Structures are given as structure tokens and as C-alpha cells.
Amino acid sequence: MTKICFSTLRLVALVFVLGCTSSSFGHSGHVNWGPWSFDWEVKDDAGLAIRSVNYKNEELMYKTSMPVIRVKYDGNACGPYADRISWDSLVNISNCGGGKICQQTYTSGGHNWLEFGILAEIGEYRIYQVYYLSDDGWINAALWSKGLQCEVNHAHHPNWRMDFDINGAANDQLFVHSDGGPNEGWGPGWHKYTNEQQDIKNPPKNTNWFVRDNSNGHGAWIIPGSNDGTFDAFAPTDIAARRYHGSEDEPWKFGASSDVGYNDGESVQEQDDILWYIAHLNHMASQGAGVWHQAGPWIGVSR
Amino acid sequence: MKERKTATLLTITIAVLLPLLGLACKPKSQQVTLPEKPPQVVRQEFTEKQEGFPPKVKGRTNVSAVAVQELSTSLTDSLAVQTRDAALQDTRVRDLLGARFAYITVDEIEPEKGQTVNAGAAPITRVTFFSYANNAAVYARMNGLKVESVTKAEGFQPPEGREEINTAIALASRDDNLRSKLQGLTGHAILSYTPEGQAGYGHRVLRVTFRQGDEDVPRYFSMVDLTDQKVLSAGALGHENKEQKP
């Protein structure tokens, strides 16, 4: 009798699942624009990823994605949350073509730009994840957010995972620069990361990061955006240096309350490396739910 | 004379070999010079709330929409459904799912960097479920329509699936505290990680909110425990801690 009951329940569950149609798996495409070419995808709940990114016919990135936006409300009034953007969470963008992907070009500040973004709806949040690419070698990886799950101050912590493959995967070097820092042999203010580690920025010292290929010296700047905030107890990291492992390129698995993992102290010197960049976007409830906030780093090609 | 010749030869050999040896032993970091300071970032100014969301760059010109070029993937709509169905036919998968579960998503598992996929090969995919019966995520690794392995990940919460959102909204809508108040409101739901010590801790809990049209702030909320299929709390927004159910 029990066995029949279980079989019936399973069948009911199966029918329920089969009855639901879904298209939540990945979508991908390709963009050629000005000096840039790249593939894109929305998969692994990691938002809009750009991959095989080339600038002036030389590879810059293997892939940049946004695996999670962790959210913490004061006093745990609601949440915490680990927002992950999938194709299923996307909505049509009414002020940019009406589709699920916004792709448009424009001119601003004497340069041509490409805007490439997706709009997600997760609970009460409206999230616009976007890349602004300029014809002179800049990418602004940005996140816009608005909405309140409950009327309490909170902070969003978007995590970008950046895999630079300048001149191929190997021979990456990771540096941090702080104004007024000592000269360790790389020039004033420069420090080289030797092993996997977490680090924080020091805004008065204009902390920036630089990824370089050791063979040809070409590199990329990672410059914090002006609204990228400061770390806190919930999200105590601004940047995490990691060595590439294919098995660690996976959907976010650290929940809402944990920082990025994968730190086992491996060497990142002249290896294939990953940088995780974390912004801290504060939303005061008194500003209302309709106010949008923006954060995200600038990535600049250096050759 | 011969000794002098040998000494000269030795000196020349050392003189040639030493620099070569030095080059070979030099640290791997050959590029020493780094830029003195970062280049100036061109900041963009964006439009305000009144001009719609997402914001646009102020004063931009030559705006032109570009058609999105989507590539065909090996994991098509119909293949994703077939893959999910094939996973559900597998005894190992069904055993880990138990009687109550939700389908979350199918994703293609990409090969390691540098490896290529044979053209025409069946896609390697991961089908994600959440088992309410076992309160755990369940992953089926598929090679085409064949289940390669099944794993249960206790304590891991994949993102909310579409059917979970619908179930949570439906449960919240039937709650006594809300049932009569939801006319004309639309429901939204988000996966919530309940802090230790609160009702629903460790369970699959979604926070449901109900809003009218384009209002900025939702009017009502409900915390729905999908593991136990029950409403934990519900009420007007701002009354979260006053509406907790026993």
C-alpha cells in the first residue's frame, strides 16, 4: 500500500514537472563592433557573460561573467539573498529594442560606444547587467539595480569573475597599485600577488589592479568604479586572485552569506589566473524603491 | 705555450657561457616596467528616473540599435526538454528526488579551457532539481540523453526556478492573511536564505511580494517554505516580524 502511495506521488510530481515548459537554459551569440569582437552567453545562472573578447585582433579575455549578487539587509530584516541571473529571469527591455538583450551604439565624449546588456527581474529587483565598450579600449562592466524586498537599508554585492587570457592563457601576472606605496622592484606603489588571496581597496590611495602577460607585456587595468563602495563584514573582499581551474568555472555555490571560495593558496605567478571583483552598492530605503543605483569596474586595455 | 692556449680557450669559454648561464637563471618575470599610473577613465553621466529604466548616457548622439546575433547551440529548446525528461526516467535520479521536487534548469557543461568538443557530439549537460522530500539540490550529469552520474548537494540552494516561483505565489495567495487583499496585484518571488534561529532555517524558502502595477513598493509579503509546503508568515509590508506563524 505504501509502495503504491509513493509511486502515485512520484507520478503526480513527474506529471507536474513535465507539464511545465521552460527555456531557462543557455543562449549565446556573437558581436563584431569597431575594434572589438566577442561571443556572449547567458548560462550557468551567471548573468551576461562575454567571452573570447578580442580588441584590435588580440585576445583580451577568455570570459567575464557575473555569477552572483549577494544582498544583505540591515538586521536581516529580510534575506539575505544570492541573486543569480538566468535566461528565465530576463524581461524585455522596452527602451532598447524591446527584446531581452539591449545592443546599441552611440557617441559620447568624443568616442563611439557599444552598450550590451540584459534586464532581469528577481523578486522586487530590477537588475540591468551591462557592458559599455568604447572604441579606445575600455569596458565598463556595470550593474544597475532598483527595488526593495523590504523597506530597510541594504547593500548589493555583485561579483564579477574575470578570466583574462592576454596573449594566451598562460603567463598571467597580477599586480595591485596604491599611491605612495613602496617600490618592490616593479616601480613605486606596485605589488605583485604571488599566491591566491583576497584584497581590499584603499580609496584615498587610488587602488587599482593590473593584469599582464609576462611574455609580451600587454595588459589590462581594472579600475574601481566611482560608486563601487567599500567592503563590510558581510562582504569583506574587493578583489580575489585565483588560479584558473576548469572545475571552478561553475554556477555560484557559496550561498548568500559566504564570500568567493576556491582559495587554497596556490601560486598565481606566471599562471593562468582569475580575478574576482566585488562591488558594494548601498541602497538607503529612504531613497525609495524607484531609485536605481549603479556600480562596476572599468577595464582598460594596455599595450 | 700549450698551457697558455688552453687558459685563453678556457677564459673565452667562460666569458661566453657565463652570460648565457645568467640569462637562463634569470627569474621568470622578465617584463619589469609597469605603467607609472593608470590612465584617466572617461566617466559617463546617466539619465534620471523620469527617463525610464535602464538609464541611458546623457547627451549621447548617433544612437543606433543593432540586431542581436544569436548562435544556434547544441542544446536546443526541444533537446533541453528531452534531456530533463530522460533524467527523470532514471531510477537513481528519482531515488534522490523523492516524491516532491521541482525542476530548476538544464545547462551545458563547457569543456576545460583548451579542449574542444567534437562536432556532432551529444552535449554534456547538468540538469538541476531541488528535492523538497530530501531538502537538497540534485544534479544529473548527462551525456546526451544518458545519465552519467547523479549527486545530491545538501545545504546548497540553486536559484529559484520558474515553477517554484509560481508555486510560492499560489501558496501565498491562498493564505488567510492575504487572500482577500490581492485583487489586481501581481506576485513576485525570490529565494531567501533564512538566518539561523528563524522559522524556515535550512529549508527552501521564497519571499513572495505583491505589488500593484508600477508601484515602487510592494504592498504585501509572504514567506513560503516550499520544503514543508506552508506559509511561514504573511501580511502588509513592514509587518514582517509581527505576522510570524507558529
Asked if A30 has any chain B CB less than 8 Å from its own CB, the reply is: yes
Contacts of B114 in chain A (CB under 8 A): 169
- Chain A residue with minimum CA distance to B96: A10
A292 — contact with chain B (CB < 8 Å)?
A: yes
pLDDT greater than 80 at residue B245: no
Phi-psi region of A275 (alpha: psi -120 to 50; beta: other; left: phi over 0): beta
Counting residues of chain B whose pLDDT is more than 90, the rounded percentage is: 62
Which runs of consecutive H residues, i.e. helices, occur in chain B? Answer: 2-25, 77-89, 91-97, 162-173
* Identity of the residue in A103, A146, A221 whose CB atom sits nearest the CB atom of B38: A221
Say yes or no for a CB contact (<8 Å) between A26 and B97: no
B130 touches chain A (CB under 8 A): no
**Is A128 in the B-facing interface, judged by CB distances under 8 Å?**
yes
CA atoms of A130 and A259, how far apart (whole Å): 23
Residues A80, A71: contact at Cβ < 8 Å?
A: yes
Tell me how close the Cα of A43 comes to any Cα of chain B, in angstroms.
7
Q: Which residues of B touch A27 (CB under 8 A)?
A: 70, 73
Q: Cα dihedral sign for A146, A149, A153, A154?
A: negative
pLDDT of residue A289: 77
Residue B141 near chain A (CB below 8 Å)? no
Instruction: Annotate A16-77 with DSSP letters as a single string.
Output: HHHH-----S-EEEEEEETTEEEEEEE-TT--EEEEEEEETTEEEEEEEEEEEEEEEEGGGS
- Cβ neighbours of A154 in B, within 8 Å: none
Residue for grid cell 548527462: B142
Question: Looking at CA atoms only, how far is residue A214 from chain B in angstroms?
Answer: 6
Distance of alpha carbon B127 from alpha carbon B144, whole angstroms: 11
Dig out the grid coordinates for B175 from the structure: 493564505
Minimum distance, in Å, between the CA of residue B169 and any CA atom of chain A = 11
Contact A124 B54 (CB under 8 A): no
In a mutagenesis test of the B interface, which of A7, A12, A22, A74 is the best target, namely the one with the most B β-carbons within 10 Å? A22
Residues in A 85-114 with any Cβ partner in B closer than 8 A: 86, 88-89, 93-97, 99, 101-109, 111-114
Please tell me whether residue A226 adopts helix, strand or coil conformation: coil
Per-residue confidence (pLDDT) for residue B51, from 0 to 100: 80
Given a cut of 60, whether residue B122 has pLDDT beyond it is yes
Q: Which three cell numbers, joined as nine digits, stand for B199?
A: 522559522
**CA B237 – CA B235 distance, rounded (Å):** 6
Neighbours of B45 (CB within 10 A): 11
Summarised one tens digit per residue, pLDDT across range B147-177 is 999 999 998 999 999 999 999 999 999 999 9
Q: Which residues of A touch B160 (CB under 8 A)?
A: 122
Among A8, A51, A71, A108, pick the best mutation site for testing chain B contact (most B Cβ within 10 A). A108
Closest-approach residue (CA) in chain A for B86: A18
Chain B residues within 8 A of A121 when measuring between CB atoms: 188
Q: What is the pLDDT along chain A (303 residues), one digit of tens a residue?
A: 444 444 444 444 443 443 333 344 468 999 999 999 999 999 999 999 999 999 999 999 999 999 999 999 999 999 999 999 999 999 999 989 899 999 999 999 999 999 999 999 999 999 999 999 999 999 999 999 999 998 899 999 999 999 999 999 999 999 999 999 999 999 999 999 999 999 999 999 999 999 999 999 999 999 999 999 999 999 999 999 999 999 999 999 999 999 999 999 999 999 999 999 999 999 998 888 788 899 999 999 999
Q: Is B4 exposed, middle or buried (0-12, 13-18, 19+ CB in 10 A)?
A: exposed
Residues of B in contact with A270 (CB under 8 A): 28-29
Mutate: best of A52, A124, A257, partner B, most B CBs <10 A: A124
Other CB atoms closer than 10 Å to residue A185's CB: what's the count? 10
Q: Which residue of chain A has the CA closest to B41?
A: A298
Residue of A nearest to B46 (CA): A294
Query: Half-sphere exposure (CA, 13 Å, Cβ side) for A237?
Result: 20
The interface pTM score, or ipTM, of the predicted complex is 0.88
Interface of A with B in 154-213 (CB under 8 A): 169, 173, 175, 177, 185-188, 190, 192, 206, 208, 210, 212
Please judge whether A86 and B105 are an interchain contact, meaning their C-beta atoms are less than 8 angstroms apart. Answer: yes
Three-state SS for A130-184 is: EEEEECCCEEEEEEEEECCCCCCCEEEEEEEEEEECCCCCCCEEEEEECCCCCCC
User: Is the confidence at residue B205, as pLDDT, over 80?
Assistant: yes
- Closest chain B residue to the Cα of A23, Cα to Cα: B77
Residue A8: enclosing H or E segment and its boundaries?
Answer: helix A2-19
Question: Which of A126, A88, A119 is CA-nearest to residue A102?
Answer: A119
